[in-house]
């Protein structure tokens, strides 16, 4: 890897077209870690040309050959897992223990799942006199966020490559350094030139150039709903495929017979994972009125254990926000919550003087229609909302424009599942069930469209063709 001076196009590190650069800060120390190039439209065009040139050869490889490259990538990443975790902790502030267990371990699991899916022959569906086959889309533009920089990249790049596509990747300019290490691993394993290309930079001009490029056949984007709307609009001119994984405002519904102590403890941990900078975070805890005061007390006790601290310390559970802008955004929502009448039962405690920290915050007496209950905050802020009966709980759970994830707790699993089926959201965990990299991931409503992970995620990067036989 040639430092962070260059960009990766056509299997080699090359000089960018321009001289503009963006600093990358360590959010715990506010120090500049590095600076990266701003890839220009000309750089994007070079990357798309390289990906297009590589497509015919890569799409013609066998499933076993593609599995071989993904296996090599998984093994190379596993060998440098600690280095990758340290890099993610440095660039976006994830506590090192979470960086190892989630930020790096999840991508390794996703790579393993794609390798397994490529085993065996292609499944060909027969319908009447038709043979139904799936073929790669072509050149995929992958635009990934800063909160899970490696996982969200692998969730796109691994299935795209597995399906026979080539990729032009733009990581977030807030946390791009892990993508540089990934590109180095791609080069180390001998991935054919042009199959994966890295063009760092901001949304404008770099991201927009990918979205609008006529040589890009599909854009897979993860980020805010606001930015996702811009991606859809920009891609419309060339009618390219768009897959969007956007914001969330997930409800964690504690039904009356739930194990309250466990549900609250797990719910707080889910809300605060990665500093609350998780699109699936259960930021709304819905509690029956009869058990509300007890739930608030338990939540404050659990949340108080998330003391902000040095993310390189293995004992730290809550690191900084990924940027100064994100810290200011979260603090702005906290102020809005107080102004709109919610009761701040935890928060406002001192945080480290250096770094983009926000104290763990819990709001009680939150109106379901208030700003903090409706908009994605992306920080360690929990809103506890009371409900009168299950119909009321369902109404509140479905009252936001998002529909990405959620949780339901009950002593009766069947009852919890029945409630979950009525929630307008793409993923629901029952009684704290574990995340599954084999299951499809994606949202309803303004949380996006399309699915990632598992067989559904692989299919997302294919076109369906029917061949009529005589």
| Cα–Cα distance, 179 to 105 (Å, whole number) | 16
| Cα 399 from Cα 393, distance rounded (Å) | 10
212, 279, 452, 460: which is the annotated catalytic residue?
A: 279
* Cα gap 446→439, rounded to integer Å: 20
Establish whether the linkage from the previous residue to 205 is cis, with ω within 30° of 0.
yes
Mode of pairing for the β-strands spanning 32-37 and 448-449 = unpaired
The one catalytic residue among 245, 376, 452, 460 = 245
User: Residue 126: is it exposed, middle or buried by C-beta count within 10 angstroms (0-12/13-18/19+)?
Assistant: exposed
**Residues facing 449 on adjacent strands:** 244
Distance CA 443, CA 425 (A): 6
Q: Where are the alpha helices (DSSP H) in 35-136?
A: 41-59, 63-79, 81-92, 96-98, 105-117
Judging by DSSP bridges, how do beta strands 130-136 and 139-143 pair with one another?
unpaired
Backbone dihedral angles phi then psi of residue 452, each to the nearest 5 degrees = -115, 160
Give 46: exposed, middle or buried? Use CB within 10 Å, 0-12, 13-18, 19+. Answer: buried
Reply yes or no on whether 271 is catalytic: no
**Which ranges of 166-259 would DSSP assign to H, the alpha helix?**
177-188, 208-212, 225-236
Residues ≥6 apart with Cβ < 8 Å to 159:
114, 452, 457, 458, 460, 461
Would you please indicate which residues are annotated as catalytic (active-site) residues?
Answer: 245, 279
């Amino acid at each position: 890897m040639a430092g962070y001076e260059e960009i990766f196009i056509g299997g080699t590190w090359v000089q960018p077209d321009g001289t503009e650069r963006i600093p990358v800060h360590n959010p715990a120390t506010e120090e500049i870690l590095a600076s990266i190039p701003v890839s220009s439209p000309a750089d994007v065009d070079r990357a798309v040309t390289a990906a297009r040139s590589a497509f015919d050869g890569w799409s013609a490889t066998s499933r076993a050959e593609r599995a071989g490259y993904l296996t090599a990538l998984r093994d190379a990443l596993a060998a440098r897992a600690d280095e990758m975790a340290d890099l993610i902790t440095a660039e976006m502030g994830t506590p090192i223990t979470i960086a190892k267990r989630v930020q790096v371990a999840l991508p390794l699991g996703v790579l393993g799942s794609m390798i397994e899916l490529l085993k065996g022959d292609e499944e060909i569906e027969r319908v009447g006199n038709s043979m139904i086959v799936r073929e790669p889309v072509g050149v995929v533009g992958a635009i990934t966020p800063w909160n899970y920089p490696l996982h969200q990249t692998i969730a796109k790049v691994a299935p795209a490559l597995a399906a026979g596509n080539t990729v032009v990747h733009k990581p977030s300019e807030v946390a791009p350094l892990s993508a540089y290490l990934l590109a180095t691993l791609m080069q180390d394993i001998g991935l054919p030139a042009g199959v994966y290309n890295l063009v760092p930079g901001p949304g404008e001009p770099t991201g927009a150039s990918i979205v609008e490029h006529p040589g890009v056949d599909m854009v897979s984007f993860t980020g805010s709903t606001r930015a996702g709307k811009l991606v859809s609009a920009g891609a419309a001119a060339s009618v390219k495929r768009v897959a969007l994984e956007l914001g969330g405002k997930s409800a964690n519904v504690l039904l009356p017979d739930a194990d309250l102590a466990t549900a609250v403890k797990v719910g707080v941990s889910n809300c605060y994972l990665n500093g609350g900078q998780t699109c699936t975070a259960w930021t709304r805890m819905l509690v029956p009125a009869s058990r509300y005061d007890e739930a608030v007390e338990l939540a404050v006790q659990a949340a108080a254990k998330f003391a902000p601290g040095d993310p390189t310390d293995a004992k730290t559970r809550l690191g900084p926000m990924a940027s100064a802008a994100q810290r200011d955004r979260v603090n702005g929502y906290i102020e809005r919550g107080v102004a709109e009448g919610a009761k701040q039962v935890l928060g406002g405690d001192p945080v480290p003087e250096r770094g983009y920290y926000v104290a763990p915050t819990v709001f009680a007496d939150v109106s379901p229609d208030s700003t903090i209950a409706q908009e994605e905050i992306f920080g360690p802020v929990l809103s506890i909302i009371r409900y009168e009966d299950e119909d009321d709980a369902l109404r509140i759970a479905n009252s936001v424009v998002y529909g990405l994830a959620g949780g339901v707790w009950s002593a009766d699993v069947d009852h919890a599942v029945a409630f979950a089926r009525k929630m307008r959201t793409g993923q629901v965990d029952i009684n704290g069930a574990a995340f599954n990299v084999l299951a499809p991931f994606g949202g309803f409503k303004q949380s996006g469209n399309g699915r990632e992970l598992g067989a559904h995620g692989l299919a997302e990067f294919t076109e369906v063709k029917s061949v009529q036989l005589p």
